[in-house]
Amino acid sequence: MAYRELVKNFNCIRDYMREFYVYGFKSREEYTRKSARSYDNEHRRIESWLGDYMKFRQTAEGKNVFLSVDSRMSHHNPLYKAWKTKSFTDGDITLHFIIMDMMETAEGVLSVSEIVKKTDEYLSVFLKPRVFDESTVRKKLKEYVEEGILETEKCGKTLCYKKVTDCECYDKDVLDFFSETAPCGVIGSFVLDRENQKKKDADQGQYLKEKFAFKHHYITSAIDSEILCQLFEAIHEKRSVVIGMFHRDREHGSEHKVIPLKIRISVQSGRQYLMAYIPRMKRINAIRIDNIVSVKYGEVSERFDELSGRLEKMKPHLWGVSTQSHMGSRMETVEFTVHYEQGEEHIHQRLEREKRCGTVEKIDDHTSRFYAEVYDATEMIPWIRTFICRITDLHSSNIILETQFEQDLEKMYQLYGIGGEEG
């Protein structure tokens, strides 16, 4: 099949976008999960959308392709562009513009039969006019009602349609912020596109001024928006789902029945997780959303409220998403003391602000102690490292954490040439 810029199934390019951005620096020959032709088509497709961000590097092994985005400088997530490139058939686009033109010029509401008749009139000017049957038109009208483009009105026993009046009820600054920070922000991005176009038309090409810049801008979450929307829907309806999983270390994926309960997002990495009850394991576990490739809705779960309550009871001991100890115990403890100088009281304030499920005790004007009981203490290592030069002592029931902390100190000493010699 010939190369097309637009895409019908987003999953076709989702994995390649992640590979180019997160992993990158691979040659064409290293993408072995699909054919070389598939790679060429998806590579060209992504380049047509994100050409300004696509980079190339020539190595001895060949040309490496990667996406390079400075998230500090990008006010808007460039990966949203991929969602605005859905393909359509000739019939789809023809019927769309006919219906939109018809509704724009209609003096009142129109029934399905009237719309079908007017559609035939539009198409009759062609030498070989195509014909849309009533069921096709009705299906398209139903789709537009669900999307909020049209609305219905009862005319006696007949259902009639009219165009929804545009509502200028959007705060553009709010949209600008939440389209980049909230899950499924691509929805806000679509609305912003429309508002920006209106502003451009009214002000001779001047776009809306941007008021927000982001220190931590996790843009890869954009490509998981469809999966996230489906999971939110399942949680809202308290349904079980069958999720299709992709495994990087395996040739084939797998399917698992789960009851989705909550979405958690890492403030450090921006990675999104599904907290779900897994019947075959009889426990609540975290599942990386970027590893989910499909969601199939199941039946309403009678256990949903019970399981949600169980997860809520677990939250006081959840530092991240892990719900079990690596050491075999039910709970792991972490305790450390930090020292700070005069004028550095913000260190204590930061501990209070970032303590999550832990507790903070101020020992004196220069010393604070942190303590927590969590399921998995190793999840805390990246955060603890940020205090490494101020920690005077650290103790944990998880030997892995203590060992890792000591190794980090040794590496830092080696890097800066500290210790090892008598002074």
248 versus 225: the higher-pLDDT residue is: 225
Judged against a pLDDT cut of 90, whether residue 81 lies above it is answered with no
Asked whether the beta carbons of 152 and 145 are under 8 A apart, the reply is yes
Judged against a pLDDT cut of 50, whether residue 422 lies above it is answered with no
Last residue of a domain, one of 45, 73, 101: 73
Asked whether the beta carbons of 70 and 5 are under 8 A apart, the reply is no
Per-range mean pLDDT, top range of 79-93, 112-126, 183-197: 112-126
In a domain, 270, yes or no: yes
* CATH code of residue 296: 2.30.30
Domain range spanning residue 350?
A: 332-416
Q: How is residue 31 written in tokens?
A: 């993408």
Domains contained in the chain, number: 5
In a domain, 323, yes or no: no
- pLDDT tens track for 137-193: 999 999 999 888 899 999 988 999 999 876 555 677 777 788 887 788 888 888 887
Q: What is the pLDDT of residue 423?
A: 38
Last residue of a domain, one of 151, 186, 217: 217
Residues 354 and 398 in one domain: yes
Rounded to whole angstroms, what are the CA distances from 284 to 178, 275, 376? 30, 7, 14
Mean pLDDT on 273-298:
94
Which strands make up the sheet holding 110-111, listed edge to edge?
Answer: 110-111, 158-163, 150-155
CA–CA distance, 128 with 198 (Å, rounded to integer): 37
In a domain, 17, yes or no: yes
User: Any idea what the Cα angle at residue 284 is, between residues 283 and 286, rounded to 5°?
Assistant: 135
Q: How is residue 373 written in tokens?
A: 């009981």
Please report which helix (H) or strand (E) contains residue 136, including its range: helix 134-146
SS3 content of the chain, % helix, strand, coil (to 5): 40, 25, 35
In a domain, 319, yes or no: no
- pLDDT tens track for 294-330: 999 999 999 999 999 999 999 999 999 999 876 566 7
- The residue assigned the tokens 């859905």 is 86
In a domain, 324, yes or no: no
Rounded to whole angstroms, what are the CA distances from 238 to 241, 288, 294, 336? 10, 20, 18, 41
In a domain, 115, yes or no: yes
CB contact set of 57 (below 8 Å; sequence gap of 6+): 25, 63, 64, 66
Residues 212 and 226 in one domain: no
In a domain, 281, yes or no: yes
In a domain, 5, yes or no: no
Q: DSSP secondary structure string, 304-346?
A: HHHHHHHHHHHGGG-SSS--S-SSSSS-EEEEEEEE--TT-TH
Rounded to whole angstroms, what are the CA distances from 405 to 69, 138, 318, 386? 32, 65, 21, 11
Rounded to whole angstroms, what are the CA distances from 345 to 22, 265, 281, 348, 369? 37, 29, 46, 6, 14
In 3D space, the residue among 241, 263, 245 whose CA is nearest the CA of residue 253 turns out to be 245
Q: What is the pLDDT of residue 233?
A: 95
Residues 27 and 64 in one domain: yes
Residues 37 and 98 in one domain: no
CA–CA distance, 187 with 194 (Å, rounded to integer): 11
Asked whether the beta carbons of 164 and 205 are under 8 A apart, the reply is no
319 versus 29: the higher-pLDDT residue is: 319
* CATH code of residue 100: 1.10.10.10
Residues 68 and 106 in one domain: no
Average pLDDT of the chain, as a whole number:
85
Among 163-177, 264-278, 372-386, the minimum mean pLDDT is found in 163-177
CA–CA distance, 90 with 138 (Å, rounded to integer): 18
- The residue assigned the tokens 């700070």 is 340
Q: Where are the beta strands (DSSP E) in 137-232?
A: 150-155, 158-163
pTM: 0.70
Among 87-96, 175-184, 413-422, the minimum mean pLDDT is found in 413-422
Last residue of a domain, one of 217, 246, 281: 217
Q: What is the pLDDT of residue 28?
A: 74
Among 12-21, 23-32, 156-165, 287-296, the minimum mean pLDDT is found in 23-32
Judged against a pLDDT cut of 60, whether residue 421 lies above it is answered with no
Please report which helix (H) or strand (E) contains residue 347, including its range: helix 346-354
3-state secondary structure 242-285: EEEECCCCCCCCEEEEEEEEEEEECCCCCCEEEEEEECCCCEEE
Among 27-31, 71-75, 151-155, the minimum mean pLDDT is found in 71-75
- pLDDT tens track for 217-238: 778 888 898 899 999 999 999 9
CA–CA distance, 280 with 85 (Å, rounded to integer): 39
